[in-house]
Amino acid sequence: MTGLYSAAAKLVRAAARSGIATAVPAVAMLLTASFSQPAAAMNIQQITSPGGIKAWLVEEHGVPLISLRYAFDGGNSQDPPGKEGLANFITAMMDEGAGDIKSEDYQERMEDIAMRMSYDDSKDSLYGSFETLSKNRDKAVELLKLSVQKPRFDTEAVERIKQQLLANIAYADKDPEKVAMREWYAQAFPKQPYGNPSNGTAETVAKITRDDLVDYHKRNFARDNLKVVAVGDITAAELGKILDDVFGALPAKANLFPVAKTEPVPGGGQKIIEMGVPQSVAIFGLGAMPRKDPDFMAAFVVNHILGGGGFSAKLMEEVREKRGLAYSVYTYIQPYQQASILVGSVATKNASMAESLKIIRGEMAKMAENGPAPDDLQAAKDYLTGSYALRFDTNSKIASQLLGLMQEGFGPEYVENRNAMINAVTAADAKRVAARLLKPDNLVVTIVGKPAGMNSAATPPVLQPALAVPGRG
C-alpha cells in the first residue's frame, strides 16, 4: 500500500495548496483503499479504440483514480551521434508548456486539478505516466493530449532545463557509482547505442537545440511504436475515446534509427577509473539470456540465489556476512530489446576491492559448476512466487507491470502463468542454466576509486571455488 499512500498524499497536498477543498476528501479516499484482487484474478481486457489504438485495461471502480502508463519504443538508443542525452532532455521538457499554454501556466493547471504526469527514458523506450482523479478526468486528459501532441519547447524553457541537466551531469561526474555504471556500459558496448551515456555529457547536452527536440518528438512519438495500459475508474468505451483523443493525431509510423542485436564484449576485461575517494565502486556484468529464451526463467531464479535475493543471496552472505568486506553487493538480469545482461555492483574500501571481486568470481564459478543447493532453489522459488502479488497491490504498480509485459511481447495470460513457470524450474534446469550463464572469464568490470593492487587489464584470474568458501565442502 505504500505506493498508493504516496500517490494519494501527493495529490492531497497538490489539491490543498491550490485551495480545492472539494478535491481533498475525494483524494483522501485513496488512503484507505487498495486494489484487493490477486494478480491472477485480474480481468485484463485487451481493447482497440475506434481509431485502432490497442491497449490493456484493468477496471477498478472502487477508487476514483485513473492511472495510465504508456511507452514509445526508441528511448535513448535513438539519440543522434553527438547529441547523446537528447531523449533524457525531452523527458524534462514535456510539462514545460504545450499548445497555447506556456510553461508556468501549464504546471499551475496541472496542480490545480491534482493531476500527475511525468516522463522517463530508458535504453529502448520513452515512458509516460499519468494519474488523475475521476472527477477531473476531462481537464487532465486535455492537458495530457497537448503534452503528447504539441509540446512547446520554448527557447527560454529549453535553456533553463539545459542548465539544470548540465548541473546534474556535473554532480553525477563526482558520484563513483554513477560514473562506474556509465563507464561500464561504454566498456561493455563500445560503439553501440547501448554504450552511449543515457544522460549525455556536458559537451553533447550543450549542443542540443530546440530543433533537436522537435525532431526527436516527430520521429519517435507515433502510433505504431506506442503501448498503453490503463488501470482504474474507467470503462473500455471511455478509454477508447481517450486513446484516440490523446494519441490519435500522432503520425502513423515512427522513424527510428535501427539498433542491431548485440551483446557485451567477449572475453571480459577490467577498467579502473581513478577517483580520490576512500571507497571504490565496481560494476561487473556479462551477457545473459534474452527475455523470451526458454532458459530465462531458470536464469532469473539462479540470479536470485546468486545476488538478487538481498540478505539471502550467496554474494551477500560471502562478501558481507562472512567477511565484512562490503555493505552491499547485488546482481540482477536486465533484458533489453537487442541485448540482455546480468549486471551487479559492489562498493568497498580501496584495500578490499580486489578480494571482493575474487570472491564474487569464485561464487559464480562454484554455482556454474555445481548449480544451486536444493534448499536454496526451493527458498528462491517460494520467495519469488509468494512476493509476485506485491507487484500488483496498487493501480500504478499494475499499470507499470502490465506495460512491461506488453513491451516484452507477452499476453495477459502471463500474469496467471508466471508462478507456474517459476515452480517448474528443476534442480537440473538451474544447474544447466547456471553453467550457461555464469562465466566469470567473461565478466566486464569497471571500477571507480583507487583500488589497492589493481590495474586496468584483461580478466583477472578466478579465485577457485574451494578457496572462496573456507570451511565449506
What is the per-residue pLDDT for 21?
38
- The answer to whether 134 touches 233, Cβ cutoff 8 Å, is yes
- The answer to whether 231 touches 60, Cβ cutoff 8 Å, is yes
**Angle at CA of residue 393, ends 391 and 394, nearest 5°:** 105
Q: What is the rounded average pLDDT for all residues in the chain?
A: 90
Cα–Cα distance measured from residue 396 to residue 230, given in angstroms and rounded to the nearest whole number:
9
Q: Are residues 314 and 184 in the same domain?
A: no
- The answer to whether 116 touches 140, Cβ cutoff 8 Å, is no
What is the extent of the structural domain holding 442? 269-468
Q: How many domains does the chain have?
A: 2
User: Collapsing DSSP states into helix, strand and coil, what is residue 162?
Assistant: helix
Mean pLDDT of 340-369: 97
Residue 215, exposed/middle/buried by CB under 10 A (0-12, 13-18, 19+)?
A: middle
With respect to residue 208, please indicate whether it lies within any of the assigned structural domains.
yes
**Residues 61-106: pLDDT tens digits?**
999 999 999 999 999 999 999 999 999 999 999 999 999 999 999 9
Q: Per-residue confidence at 37, pLDDT binned at 50, 70, 90?
A: low
Q: Are residues 449 and 333 in the same domain?
A: yes
What is the per-residue pLDDT for 40?
59
What is the per-residue pLDDT for 16?
40
385 CB-near residues (< 8 Å, 6+ apart): 419, 422, 423
In this predicted structure, the answer to whether residue 2 has a pLDDT above a threshold of 50 is: no
Beta strand pairing status for 116-121 and 269-274? unpaired
Residue 132's CATH number = 3.30.830.10
- The answer to whether 297 touches 324, Cβ cutoff 8 Å, is no
In this predicted structure, the answer to whether residue 160 has a pLDDT above a threshold of 80 is: yes
Q: Are residues 162 and 53 in the same domain?
A: yes
Cα–Cα distance measured from residue 7 to residue 12, given in angstroms and rounded to the nearest whole number:
9
With respect to residue 253, please indicate whether it lies within any of the assigned structural domains.
no
Residue that finishes a domain, picked among 216, 247, 278:
247
Q: Residue 380's closest CA among 319, 435, 335, 314?
A: 314
Mean pLDDT of 281-297: 98
Cα–Cα distance measured from residue 92 to residue 292, given in angstroms and rounded to the nearest whole number:
32
Mean pLDDT of 23-42: 48
Kindly report the number of other CB atoms within 10 A of residue 473's CB atom. 4
Sequence-ordered strand ranges (E) for 291-351 = 329-335, 340-349
- Cell 515512427, located at residue: 254
With respect to residue 280, please indicate whether it lies within any of the assigned structural domains.
yes
Name the residue with higher pLDDT: 443 or 14.
443
Q: Are residues 383 and 451 in the same domain?
A: yes
With respect to residue 409, please indicate whether it lies within any of the assigned structural domains.
yes
What is the per-residue pLDDT for 456?
78
What is the per-residue pLDDT for 455?
85
What is the per-residue pLDDT for 1?
32
**Residues 208-244: pLDDT tens digits?**
999 999 999 999 999 999 999 999 999 999 999 999 9
Q: Are residues 102 and 224 in the same domain?
A: yes
What is the per-residue pLDDT for 28?
37
Q: What percent of the chain has pLDDT over 90?
A: 87
Q: Are residues 348 and 212 in the same domain?
A: no
With respect to residue 435, please indicate whether it lies within any of the assigned structural domains.
yes
Q: Are residues 99 and 223 in the same domain?
A: yes
Mean pLDDT of 408-425: 97
User: Collapsing DSSP states into helix, strand and coil, what is residue 190?
Assistant: coil
Q: Are residues 341 and 404 in the same domain?
A: yes
With respect to residue 263, please indicate whether it lies within any of the assigned structural domains.
no
What is the per-residue pLDDT for 457?
67
In this predicted structure, the answer to whether residue 34 has a pLDDT above a threshold of 80 is: no
Q: What percent of the chain has pLDDT over 70?
A: 88
In this predicted structure, the answer to whether residue 168 has a pLDDT above a threshold of 60 is: yes
Q: Are residues 200 and 283 in the same domain?
A: no
With respect to residue 473, please indicate whether it lies within any of the assigned structural domains.
no
Mean pLDDT of 172-188: 98
Q: Are residues 243 and 291 in the same domain?
A: no
What is the per-residue pLDDT for 111?
97
Q: Are residues 432 and 311 in the same domain?
A: yes
Beta bridge partners of 425: none
In this predicted structure, the answer to whether residue 395 has a pLDDT above a threshold of 50 is: yes
**Residues 255-287: pLDDT tens digits?**
999 999 999 999 999 999 999 999 999 999 999
What are the cell numbers at 75? 528511448
With respect to residue 216, please indicate whether it lies within any of the assigned structural domains.
yes
What is the per-residue pLDDT for 12?
41
**Residues 449-468: pLDDT tens digits?**
999 999 876 444 443 332 23
Residue that finishes a domain, picked among 195, 215, 247:
247
What is the per-residue pLDDT for 25?
41
Q: Residue 177's closest CA among 269, 273, 91?
A: 273
Q: Are residues 218 and 287 in the same domain?
A: no
Sequence-ordered strand ranges (E) for 187-289 = 226-232, 269-274, 279-287
